Structure 1
């Protein structure tokens, strides 16, 4: 999963360079590269879905900890498990809708309305793959948490709960 994060980072870095080149070309030469905004949309959509998958595995999705930390450990574990199941179900629904979108694009041979005329099945396939990986990652984390519950609430919270401040400091040191 870490490789996915690294590749996503390089894709965003490449997009940043492309945007800088586009800006310089417009300001200095009054020329546009055409399609940088379209490519940017594809990069953001694809890296976003794979990034959500990485966040699911790394326990990095945003939660309201103020209330969660005041609840009993058993309730915390149940809510954390429920949140990952809900995340997986939501991602599965998004993947289903993504599949329908991709199917329509394939059926009709859809291309983008920009000068690039990108066949839409190309970016949509990668976007759908990211949604599938996201859903599987969330459900995998939920399953790991459920299995960890057999070892106790502390073990389940190490899999499901948001990272503690001490864990975040330790991660930052690496």
Structure 2
């Protein structure tokens, strides 16, 4: 079981690292576009389109890592009102529902991605981007999120120790 958890942790870190690299690339792309427009009165024409794809990729690839480290938004309206001894049970039920939802989402995005590959669908833009590329990054990120949910069910998040200089 430990090897599975370690493997999932590795994949989540790799997804986050790829997301960071994509974020840097997107920043450079937008910066170059600004320089070209302001100093050379020209454009690359595809910056808006690619930036949109890259934003989705960054968010999707980082979602699993964020979930793993309990850094996603959580609505505690019901959770806080439960007795302390029910918190773990509620967490398991919520985790199972989340896992089911993520698996269904993965399945539907996989179907979309396969259909896009089969049809050879391209964006109706100047670059005619093959849509399987951005859809594939979305699919990868959602699979990582599903693995993060599974990981939490297998080994719940350890309590975080406060950073140096902060209050507990």
TM-score (norm 2): 0.79
Pairing partner for 1:169 from 155, 163, 167: 163
Residue deviations 1:45-100 (CA, integer Å, cap 9, x gap): 22212211112211222113466345322221122223322222222122112112
Residues 112, 118 of structure 1: 8 Å contact kept = yes
The aligned residue for residue 61 of structure 2 is: 50
Q: Please report how far the alpha carbon of residue 102 of structure 1 lies from its aligned counterpart in structure 2 after TM superposition.
A: 0.9
Q: How does 1:5-44 map to 2 (within 5 A)?
A: 5-44=16-55
Residue deviations 1:15-48 (CA, integer Å, cap 9, x gap): 1121111122112222111211221122122221
| SS of residue in 2 equivalent to 1:119 | coil
The aligned residue for residue 134 of structure 1 is: 145
Q: How does 1:82-161 map to 2 (within 5 A)?
A: 82-145=93-156, 158-159=157-158
Alignment CA distance shift 1:55-1:83 (3 Å):
farther
TM-score (norm 1): 0.76
Residues 84, 138 of structure 1: 8 Å contact kept = yes
Residues 57, 141 of structure 1: 8 Å contact kept = yes
RMSD of aligned C-alpha atoms? 2.2
Q: More relative contact order in 1 or in 2 (CA 8 Å, sep 6+)? A: 2
The aligned residue for residue 154 of structure 1 is: none
Distance in 1, matches of 2:101 and 2:77, equals 24
| SS of residue in 1 equivalent to 2:150 | helix
Structure 1: which 5+ residue stretches go unaligned?
Answer: 146-157
Residues 88, 134 of structure 1: 8 Å contact kept = no
Q: Please report how far the alpha carbon of residue 111 of structure 1 lies from its aligned counterpart in structure 2 after TM superposition.
A: 0.8
Structure 2: which 5+ residue stretches go unaligned?
Answer: 1-11
By percentage of residues, which structure has more helix? 1
Q: Matched residue pairs, number? A: 154
Distance in 1, matches of 2:94 and 2:40, equals 51
